[in-house]
Amino acid sequence: AQSVTQLDSQVPVFEEAPVELRCNYSSSVSVYLFWYVQYPNQGLQLLLKYLSGSTLVESINGFEAEFNKSQTSFHLRKPSVHISDTAEYFCAVTRVSGGKLIFGQGTELSVKP
């Protein structure tokens, strides 16, 4: 079975500051990893994914995440956040064989001016 733990339920940060949202996972089989974002009153959107290759993956809006197999982590980072990044962020895993996503509890990122 797989499980995902997001270590911070809420992260308040000032605009233009760096941020890290932490995600650890547990699995007895190989997994792929994802970050999804949910803006207020909107559906879940895929932010970035790690399937294979380079362990550092980037999104189009400046977020990046690094897959660390030894630490079973997939932390999300952004060097300078904007007000518009305010949202709920979910880390998720799926087995390499595909199927369901297992989500963490979510981290609420609140960017203040």
Binding flag, residue 105, another protein (CB under 8 A): yes
Token pair listed for 27 = 């699995």
Token pair listed for 81 = 């956040």
Binding mask 18-37 for another protein (x = CB under 8 A): --------------x-x-x-
Which one of 25, 65, 106, 109 is in contact with another protein (CB under 8 A)?
106
Binding mask 36-75 for another protein (x = CB under 8 A): x-----xxxxx--x-x------------------------
C-alpha span between 94 and 5 (Å, rounded) = 14
C-alpha span between 18 and 2 (Å, rounded) = 30
Token pair listed for 105 = 């509890």
Name the residue nearer to another protein (CB basis): 23 or 111: 23
Contact yes or no for 85/77 (Cβ under 8 A): no
Contact yes or no for 84/95 (Cβ under 8 A): no
Token pair listed for 20 = 């890290």
Give the binding range for another protein (CB under 8 A) out of 3-11, 19-27, 58-66, 71-79.
3-11
The footprint of another protein (CB under 8 A) covers: 4, 6, 9, 32, 34, 36, 42-46, 49, 51, 90, 92, 94, 98-106
